Amino acid sequence: MPRRLVATATLVEEYIRLFVNRRAYTVQSFRPHLESGRHYYYRPTERGTGAARELNAKTISDHMEGKITIGLYAINPANQRCKWVAIDADYTSAMEDLIKLQYHLGGDRVDSALEMSKRGGHLWIFLAAPLLARKCRIYIYDLACRLGVPVKGSGLAEGIEVFPKHDAIAAGAFGNAIRGPLGIHRGAKRRFWFYGADYTLEAQMQFLKRLRRVTEDDLNRFTDGKELPANVGKARPEAEPMRGQGTERSRTAFCILDHVGRTRIVGKNHVTRCPSCAQAGRDRAGDNLAILVADPRFYLCWAGCTKEMIRAAVGKPIPVRTTA
Ligand SMILES: [Zn+2]
């Protein structure tokens, strides 16, 4: 086991200032998935109400101390801006490409920090103020194209991925999350540090704080007259939590009928007590949940519980995409 680290209030505050751009987050499962063996991420909810939990200082402190591992979202939907850009690469020559990018970013006087990951690395760039996700993406993709660094999704199976992965996201949407730096990866059972500083929380945060941050003027200059290269595919829309993570089998294996109590058939539906309502002590009549007899993948709570809330209530939360 790694030595125990203490996240002081100051370190937590600095971490929030640097990395937290919105309060939604994901948390990595402690237990591997039974079939895939992977440690998926979930959007945590409050017990009972099913309301989404929001990041706070305690969450960040637990993450830095390695008690939990969280994923962070890049874009704040209120202004479509982000505080950082992270370039994820996890293919054979990933490190070479990240170091090449880092070198050329330096030519623009853009500092970056290289963090190890399970199979490659993440290159982080920090912004002096929240900047438009769209412009951040134009800058990095344009640079990658000029350097011949492969970009995933542009007809290539392997290549870099840029967070933010969207130009903009809708209100209530999340975009894609990436593992919060300095936490312990549950699958790898280890902490991935940044190169360039000692392996303590203090030294790492000092190192990150000293990096020069990109200003709005910088970014406007870098992207003036440029658009996203045509061959860069738009990130897929959301509401597809597991695509690319689980197997078809593991996604369809869930059947709500395995997780509810007594049912009766009314018309085309099974009717039963909604597990999410039940957790909150509601639906005593036991008729809030309707499950389509012909295809139990379709179910609905008349009291308005979402699928996410129902899945969480039966102990089978829906994983969300988070890059580790
Ligand atoms: Zn319900």
- Find where tokens 């829309």 sit: 237
What does the pLDDT profile of the chain (324 residues) look like in tens digits? 556 789 999 999 999 999 999 999 999 998 888 888 888 999 998 887 778 899 999 999 999 999 999 999 999 999 999 999 999 999 989 999 999 999 999 999 999 999 988 889 999 999 999 999 999 999 999 999 999 999 987 777 899 999 999 999 998 889 999 999 999 988 888 999 999 999 999 999 999 999 999 999 999 999 999 998 776 755 555 544 444 444 444 455 789 999 999 999 999 999 999 999 998 889 999 999 999 999 999 999 999 888 888 998 898 888 888 888
Q: Which amino acid makes up residue 222?
A: F
CA-based nearest residue to 140, from 152, 157, 155: 152
The two structure tokens encoding residue 171: 């209100």
Ligand 1: centre distance to CA 58 (Å): 30
Q: Which residues crowd ion ligand 1, with CB under 5 Å?
A: 274, 276-277, 288, 301, 303, 305
Ligand 1: centre distance to CA 216 (Å): 46
Q: How many CB atoms lie within 10 A of CB 123?
A: 25
Helix, coil or strand: residue 146: helix
Q: How many CB atoms lie within 10 A of CB 62?
A: 17
CA-based nearest residue to 205, from 18, 4, 9, 1: 18
Ligand 1: centre distance to CA 307 (Å): 9
Ligand 1: centre distance to CA 249 (Å): 27
Ligand 1: centre distance to CA 322 (Å): 27
CA atoms within 13 A on the CB side of 166: 18
Ligand 1: centre distance to CA 29 (Å): 25
Helix, coil or strand: residue 263: coil
The two structure tokens encoding residue 274: 């909604």
Q: How many CB atoms lie within 10 A of CB 110?
A: 23
pLDDT at 3: 62
